[in-house]
Chains A and B, each alone.
Chain A
Amino acid sequence: MEIGGLLLYLMALVTMGGIYAVMALGLNLNWGMTGLFNVGIAGFFAVGAYTSALLTTPPMLARSGADVGGLGLPIPLGWIVAPLLAAAVAWVVGRICLRLRSDYLAIATIGIAEILRLVALNEQKLTGGPFGIKSIPRPFETMDRPWGEIALMALVALLVFATYLFMERARNSPWGRVMRAIRDNETAAGAMGKDVEAFRLQAFVIGSAFMGLGGALTAHYLKVLTPEASEPLYATFLVWVMLIVGGSGNNKGAVLGALLIWLLWTASELVTGALPTEWGVRIAYVKMFLVGLLLVVVLQVFPQGLLPERPPKLAGEKAAGA
């Protein structure tokens, strides 16, 4: 491969890996910090993706089987409304399930993700059904190659960095301490006068908003949005593997895991591209198998991940503990 192609590949890798990093950071707030078992990432992803796509796609251009028209509003507006709407959905789910044990949250989040996928498939007038929405505008797409790609990559990197700073701030704050307290001992946190349910709801809603943002970014980056994009394997379980491999509870781990797993995922595509088509299809199933295997094995063998969680030092705490 020539050097220019390689650079474009690397930029695509960092851009999509960065989008996954935003979602992994959101999941880290849910699971890593607060212990909320969210397996509906695909659902919040879909809310964000469709919201932003419908708001920003020009009404005239969008033709795909059924006529699906967008509102043609500016992209930044889509990126603001998408996470807000994902948060609203999360708020409803959270209000119903967070007072019960985490298994119920798992069932409910899986359920809402499946329902939203059905809505995307069935409501053809709104979502384009199986054909999806095409011609979603991509930021900087009018710039010459490769400057548009570079600008988009820089923008995504900036968003990842901002999300990271936000999550670190949350983690080091008194609010983050309450979250860890709830995760590690709910009863004790409640006995200290903390409103466990309210805190959990906050963590769930904020984390899900970032999954919605991830969905919006993906829709604009790929320019096409079909219900397949919110297939749980790509939108939910890949993010879980990223967080667990990187180190749940550690924001740096979430970013590292996202970039590393995405590198492995796409690198295998380079290999399969060289093989006959029939093999390529089979490799996709092998990859799915490996995602499952990684989930089980990583949890068994090194549950802390590559970068284990390090609780922030408390004010006045001595550097060297006993």
Chain B
Amino acid sequence: MIEFINNYVIPGLVLGSIYALGAIGVSMIYSILRFAHFAHGDLMTLGAYIAFAVVVAFGWPPVAAMPLALVGTVGASLAIDRYAYRPFRKSRPIVVVIASFGVALMIRAAIMLIWGVQPEPYVEGINPPLESFEPFRIQEKHIVIVVVTVVLVTALHLLLTRTKIGKAMRAMSDDADLARVTGIGTERVIAWTWVVGAVLAAAAGILTGIDTLLKPYMGWDLLLPIFAAAILGGLGRPYGAILGGLVLGVIQELSSYPLLSDEPFISPGYKIGIAFAILVVMLIWRPQGLLRGRVL
């Protein structure tokens, strides 16, 4: 049982936290700006590499580099919205989706141009399990990932429920026209959506880097699970995205449990296929997601 938790549940929750952070952004951008943002994965990569630059330049630990990286990613996302997406506000939403693919390619190319393609760790060295949690194998990085996720999700919850802009965001997400006639400024809400989305995306990217390695394709590879998590939870439902992320993370890790024989039930090479399978099942069975989100 303890082996089971060590090998499947803990990695699943860690992975799920990262998925959740990405999925919240995708879900909110979808419900407020009305398009599927395919550059979101690469926004995560960008945040991770900005943090890497800070780590290299000042010799700080990655968590200390986080605030600067979040600010940098927010700046980048606002600039991207201004120059790449805003001109399309009046066109068909799908045209912005094409533009978001273009932005994804641009971000990734810029990262490879600046930092190269070699996988890089934030900090060299091994990361032994902490002794105080015996018999559970929990490493320091696992605690960092879960704590950062909980802090950010709590901050998001307070923003959405206690502040005026948070309420405006929820109103826009529920009914854009109704929100507009009550005098909510569309562009201001959109700007805040990017702030929230970029902060969470950059954090997810940095946490992925802490968990494994920095790679230019890390964000692109996370894109499919993130969309699956957002749809699983229900598009436009931030809490659904958290649920979807955690569920998907755990299911993905459990999929390699040797259920029928000594071999993994599903080969680890196909882990991302689980996300896709869940996505397909949701599209057929319940496109509105677990928490009754929006159907595209």
Taking Cβ atoms with an 8 Å cutoff, the residues of A that contact B are 35, 37, 39, 96-97, 100-104, 106-108, 110-112, 114-115, 118, 121-122, 233, 237, 240, 244, 282, 285-286, 288-289, 291-296, 299-300, 303
Contact = CB atoms under 8 A, between A and B. Distances in A.
Interface of B: 30, 35-36, 38, 84, 87-88, 91, 93-95, 97-99, 101-106, 108-110, 112-113, 223-224, 227, 231, 267, 269-270, 272-273, 275-276, 279-280, 283-284, 287, 295-296
A122 B113 CA distance: 29
Contacts of A289: 105-106, 109-110, 113
Residue among A102, A111, A288, A296 facing the most chain B CB atoms (10 A cut-off): A296
Contacts of B84: 296
Nearest to B276: A111
Nearest to B235: A103
Q: For chain A, what secondary structure do more than half of its interface residues adopt (helix, strand, loop), or is it mixed?
A: helix
Contact of B97 (A106, A244, A288): A106
21 contacts: A37-B98, A39-B38, A100-B295, A100-B296, A103-B296, A104-B296, A107-B36, A107-B227, A107-B231, A108-B279, A118-B272, A118-B273, A237-B101, A285-B110, A292-B101, A292-B102, A292-B103, A292-B109, A295-B102, A299-B98, A299-B102
Given A285-B109, A286-B113, A288-B105, A106 B283 contact: no
A39 B101 contact: yes
Contacts of B113: 282, 285-286, 289
A295 B99 contact: yes
B95 A111 contact: no
A106 B38 contact: yes
Given A108-B279, A110-B223, A115-B276, A300 B104 contact: no
Given A102-B296, A289-B106, A299-B95, 9 more contacts: A96-B280, A108-B280, A115-B273, A118-B270, A122-B267, A244-B98, A293-B102, A300-B99, A303-B91
A166 to B, nearest CB: 25
Contact of B105 (A103, A107, A115, A237): A237
Contact of A96 (B30, B110, B275, B284): B284
Given A289-B113, A293-B106, A296-B102, A37 B97 contact: yes
Contacts of B287: 100, 104
A96 B283 contact: yes
Contacts of A102: 94, 97, 296
Contacts of B30: 103
B103 A106 contact: no
A96 B283 CA distance: 7
Contacts of B279: 107-108, 111
A115 B272 contact: yes
A94 to B, nearest CB: 12
A121 B273 CA distance: 13
B149 to A, nearest CB: 24
B32 to A, nearest CB: 14
Nearest to A36: B94
The 7 closest A-B pairs by CB, nearest first: A295-B102, A292-B105, A101-B296, A289-B109, A292-B106, A288-B109, A103-B36
B295 A121 contact: no
Name the residue in A35, A39, A107, A295 with the highest tally of chain B Cβ atoms < 10 Å from its Cβ.
A107
A110 B224 contact: yes
Contacts of B106: 289, 292-293, 296
Contacts of A122: 267, 269-270
A294 B87 contact: no
Given A114-B272, A121-B269, A233 B224 contact: no
B4 to A, nearest CB: 25
A121 B221 CA distance: 15
Nearest to A292: B105
A43 to B, nearest CB: 11
B113 to A, nearest CB: 4
Contacts of A295: 98-99, 101-102, 105
A106 B30 CA distance: 14
A101 B224 CA distance: 17
A35 B95 CA distance: 10
Contacts of B267: 122
A270 B164 CA distance: 57
Contacts of B97: 37, 102-103, 106
A111 B275 CA distance: 9
B136 to A, nearest CB: 32
B103 to A, nearest CB: 6
Nearest to A236: B101
Nearest to A35: B94
